[in-house]
Chains A and B, each alone.
Chain A
Amino acid sequence: MSAVDLCLLTAGLLLGLGPLALLGQGRGRSSAVVYSASGLLCAVLALSGLAGLGGLGIGTSRVLPLGLPWMGAHFAFDALTAFFLVVLGFGGGIISLYAIGYGRHEHAPMRVLPFYPAFLGAMALVLLAADAFSFLLSWEVMSLLSWALVLTHHQEEDARKAGYVYLVMAGFGTMSLLLAFGLLAGPDGAYQFDAMRGTAHPPLMAVAILGLMLLGAGSKAGLAPLHVWLPLAHPAAPSHVSALMSGVMTKVALYGFIRVVFDLLGPVAWWASPVVILLGAGTAVLGILLAMMERDLKRALAYSTIENIGVIFAALGLAMAFRANGMTAAAALAFTAALFHIFNHMAFKSLLFMGAGSVLNATGLRDLDGLGGLIHRMPVTSFLVLVGAMAISALPPLNGFASEWLIFQAVLLSPDAPQAAVQMIIPAAGGLLALAAALAAACFVRIYGVGFLGRPHSEAAANAQEVDRVSLTAMALLAATCLLAGIFPGTVIDAMAPVVDAMLSGRLPVQADETWFTIIPIAESRSSYSGMLVFVFVALSASAAAWAVHRFASDRLRRAPAWDCGFPDASPLTQYSAGGFAQPIRRVYGTDLLGARETVTMPPPGDTGPARHELLVGDPSWNGIYLRLALAVTYVTTRMNRLQFLTIRRYLTLVFMSLIVLLVGLMLWR
Chain B
Amino acid sequence: MAFLSDPVHIILGLPLASAALLAVLPGYRLSSRINILACLITFLAAFALFFVERPAPGTYFLVDELNIVFIVLNTFVGFTAATFSASYIAHELEIGRLTPAYLRFYHAMYQVMMFGMNLALLSNNIGLMWVAVEIATLSTVLMVGIYRTHEALEAAWKYFILGSVGIALALFGTILVYLAAQPVLGEGQPAMIWTNLLLHANDIDPALLNLAFVFLLLGYGTKVGLAPLHAWLPDAHAEGPTPISAVLSGLLLNVALYAVLRFKMIMAANDMALDPGPLMITMGLVSLIFAALMLYRRRDIKRLFAYSSIEHMGIIVFAFGMGGPLANFAGLLHMVMHSLTKSAIFFSVGHVAQIKGTQKIAEIRGLTQSHPLLGWGLAAGVLAIAGLPPFGVFMSEFLVVTSTFSREPVLALLLVLGILLAFGALLLRLTGFIFGEPTGELKPSEASYVPLFAHMGLVLMAGIYLPGAMVAWFQAVARLLG
- Residues of A at the B interface (CB closer than 8 Å) are 65-70, 132-133, 136-137, 140-141, 143-144, 151, 154-155, 159-160, 163-164, 167-168, 171-172, 175, 178-179, 181-183, 185-189, 191, 633-634, 636-638, 640-641, 643-644, 646, 648, 651-652, 654-655, 657-659, 662-663, 666, 669-670
Could you say which of A65, A70, A163 contacts B431, with CB atoms under 8 Å apart? A163
Evaluate contact between A662 and B218: CB separation under 8 angstroms.
yes
What's the least CB distance linking A161 to chain B, in Å? Answer: 8
Across the interface, name the chain B residue whose C-beta is closest to A70.
Answer: B471
Most buried by B among A133, A137, A178, A648: A178
6 nearest CB pairs, A to B: A182-B405, A182-B402, A154-B435, A651-B231, A69-B471, A637-B296
B279 and A662 within 8 A (CB):
yes
Q: Which residues of A contact B383 (CB under 8 A)?
A: 144
Q: A160-B435, A655-B229 are in contact. Are A637 and B294 (CB under 8 A)?
A: yes
A651 contact set on B, CB distance < 8 A: 158, 162, 231-232
Bound complex: CA A651 to CA B160 (Å):
13
The number of inter-chain residue pairs (CB within 8 angstroms) is 177
Residues of B within 8 A of A69 (CB): 466-468, 470-471
Q: Does B161 contact A (CB under 8 A)?
A: yes
The answer to whether B389 and A141 touch across the interface, beta carbons within 8 angstroms, is yes
Q: Which residues of B contact A65 (CB under 8 A)?
A: 465, 468
What 0/1 pattern do residues 381 to 399 of B give for CB contact below 8 A with A? 0010011111000110111
Complex interface: chain B residues within 8 A of A67 (CB): 464-465
Q: When the two chains form their complex, are residues B162 and A655 in contact, meaning their CB atoms are under 8 A apart?
A: yes
Selected A-B contacts with CB under 8 Å, 19 pairs = A65-B468, A67-B464, A69-B467, A140-B388, A141-B390, A154-B369, A171-B427, A175-B419, A179-B412, A179-B413, A189-B403, A191-B402, A644-B294, A646-B231, A654-B231, A655-B165, A655-B222, A655-B228, A659-B169
Contact B423 A171 (CB under 8 A): yes
Residue of B nearest to A642 (CB): B297
Contact for A160 among B211, B294, B413, B436, CB less than 8 A: B436
Complex CA distance for A179 and B409, rounded to whole angstroms: 9
Name B's interface SS. Answer: helix
Q: Are B228 and A658 in contact (CB under 8 A)?
A: yes
A315 to B158, CA, bound (A): 61
- Smallest CB separation, A206 vs chain B (Å): 14
- Which of B215, B296, B401, B407 contacts A187, CB < 8 Å? B407
Contact B214 A666 (CB under 8 A): yes
A181 to B400, CA, bound (A): 12
B53 to chain A, nearest CB (A): 27
**Nearest CB in chain B to that of A68: its residue:** B395
User: Which residue of chain A is the closest to B297 with respect to CB atoms?
Assistant: A641
Number of interface residues of B (CB under 8 A): 75
Inter-chain CA distance A648–B155, complex, in Å, is: 10
B137: which A residues are within 8 A, CB to CB?
none
Is B475 part of the binding interface, using a Cβ–Cβ cutoff of 8 Å? yes
Instruction: Fill in one digit per residue for B466-479: 1 if any A CB lies within 8 Å of its CB, else 0.
Output: 11101100010000
Instruction: Please determine whether B210 and A666 come into contact, CB atoms closer than 8 angstroms.
Output: yes
Q: Would you call B395 and A183 a contact (CB within 8 A)?
A: no
In Å, the complex CA distance between A648 and B154 comes to 10
Assess whether B234 is interfacial by the CB under 8 Å rule: yes
Cβ of B293 under 8 Å from chain A: yes
Contact B228 A137 (CB under 8 A): no
For A140, the chain B residues whose CB sits under 8 A away are 388-389, 394
With a CB–CB cut-off of 8 A, which chain B residues contact A175? 401, 416, 419-420
B402–A658 touching, CB < 8 Å: no
Inter-chain contact A183/B398, CB cutoff 8 Å: no
- How far apart are the CA atoms of A155 and B437 in the complex, in Å? 6
B404 at the interface (CB under 8 A from A): yes
Of A172, A189, A663, the contact of B420 (CB 8 Å cutoff): A172
B285 to chain A: closest CB distance in Å?
14
Known: A155-B436, A187-B407. 5 other contacts (CB 8 A): A179-B413, A182-B404, A659-B169, A662-B214, A662-B218
Please tell me if the beta carbons of A179 and B401 are within 8 angstroms of each other in the complex: yes
Q: Which residue of the partner chain B has the closest CB to A139?
A: B389
Q: Does B5 contact A (CB under 8 A)?
A: no
Q: Is B328's CB within 8 Å of the partner chain A?
A: no
Contact A187 B293 (CB under 8 A): no
- CB of B229 within 8 A of CB of A178, answer no
Smallest beta-carbon distance A280→chain B, Å: 25
Indicate if the CB atoms of B294 and A133 lie closer than 8 Å. no
Q: Are B403 and A182 in contact, with the CB atoms below 8 A?
A: yes
Residues B294 and A640 in contact, CB atoms below 8 Å apart: yes
Task: Tell yes or no: B424 within 8 A of A by CB.
Answer: yes
In the assembled complex, the Cα of A288 lies from the Cα of B207 at a distance in Å of 66
Q: For residue A181, which residues in chain B have a CB less than 8 angstroms away from its CB?
A: 402
A172 and B162 alpha carbons, distance in the complex (Å): 36
B247 contacts chain A at the CB level, 8 A cutoff: no
Measured in the bound complex, the distance between the Cα atoms of B464 and A136 in whole Å is 12
A638 in contact with B297 given A67-B464, A137-B390, A182-B412 (CB within 8 Å) = yes
Contacting residues, chain B, for A164 (C-beta < 8 A): 427-428, 431
* A164 CA to B432 CA, complexed, in Å: 10
Q: Which residues of A contact B475 (CB under 8 A)?
A: 70
Are A636 and B402 closer than 8 Å at their CB atoms?
no
Residues on B with C-beta less than 8 A from A655 are 162, 165-166, 169, 218, 222, 228-229
Q: Of all chain A residues, which has the CB nearest B405?
A: A182
Among A154, A640, A641, point to the contact of B368 (Cβ < 8 A): A154
A648 touches B158 (CB 8 A): yes
Q: Is the CB of A168 within 8 A of B424?
A: yes
B218 near A644 with CB under 8 A, answer: no
Query: Which residues between 137 and 178 of chain B lie within 8 Å of chain A, taking CB atoms?
Result: 157-158, 161-162, 165-166, 169
CB of B17 closer than 8 Å to a CB of A: no
Evaluate contact between B401 and A182: CB separation under 8 angstroms: yes
- The residue in chain B whose Cβ has the minimal distance to the Cβ of A637 is B296
> CB-CB < 8 A to B294: which residues of A?
637, 640-641, 643-644
Distance, CA A446 to CA B128, complexed state (A): 78
What residues of A have a CB within 8 angstroms of the CB of B464 in the complex? 66-67, 137
Query: How many Å lie between the Cα of A140 and that of B384 in the bound state?
Result: 12
Which residues of chain B have C-beta atoms less than 8 A from A143's C-beta? 388
Partner of A179, one of B211, B416, B427: B416
Residue among B211, B424, B471 with max Cβ neighbours from chain A (10 Å)? B424
Chain B residues positioned under 8 Å from A185 (CB to CB)? 402, 406
Q: Does B133 contact A (CB under 8 A)?
A: no
Best-buried of B293, B326, B398, B420 by chain A (most CB within 10 Å): B398
Instruction: Mark contacts of B170-204 with chain A using CB atoms, 8 A cut-off: 1 yes-contact digit, 0 otherwise.
Output: 00000000000000000000000000000000000
Please report the C-alpha to C-alpha distance between residue A575 and residue B120 in the assembled complex, in whole angstroms.
79
| Central interface residue in B222, B383, B390, by most chain A CB within 10 Å | B390
| Residues of chain B lying within 8 A (CB to CB) of residue A646 | 231
Q: Which residues of A contact B165 (CB under 8 A)?
A: 652, 655
Q: Which residues of the other chain, A, contact B404 by a CB distance below 8 angstroms?
A: 182
Contact of B403 among A155, A187, A636, A652 (CB under 8 A): A187
B112 at interface (Cβ–Cβ under 8 A)?
no
Query: How far is A65 from B215 in the complex, measured between Cα atoms in Å?
Result: 44
Is B421 at the interface (CB under 8 A from chain A)? Answer: yes
State in angstroms the CA–CA spacing of A396 and B5 once bound together. 85
What distance in Å separates the Cβ of A576 from its nearest Cβ neighbour in chain B?
Answer: 38
Contact B222 A179 (CB under 8 A): no
**B residues less than 8 Å from A182 (CB atoms):** 401-406, 412
The residue on B at minimum CB distance from A111 is B368
**Distance A68 CA – B398 CA, assembled complex (angstroms):** 10
Task: Indicate whether B34 reaches chain A with its CB closer than 8 angstroms.
Answer: no
Min CB gap B446→A, angstroms: 22
Q: Is the CB of A132 within 8 A of B228?
A: no
What residue in chain A is nearest B274 (Cβ atoms)?
A669
Which residue of chain B is the closest to A181 with respect to CB atoms? B402
Q: Is the CB of B424 within 8 A of A178?
A: no
Most buried by A among B413, B436, B467: B436
Chain A nearest Cβ from B368, distance in angstroms: 7
Type the 1/0 row for B439-482, where 1 means its CB is closer than 8 Å to any CB of A: 00000000000000000000000011111101100010000000
CB distance from B300 to the nearest CB of A (A): 10
List, in ascending order, chain A residues with CB within 8 A of B297's CB. 637-638, 640-641, 644
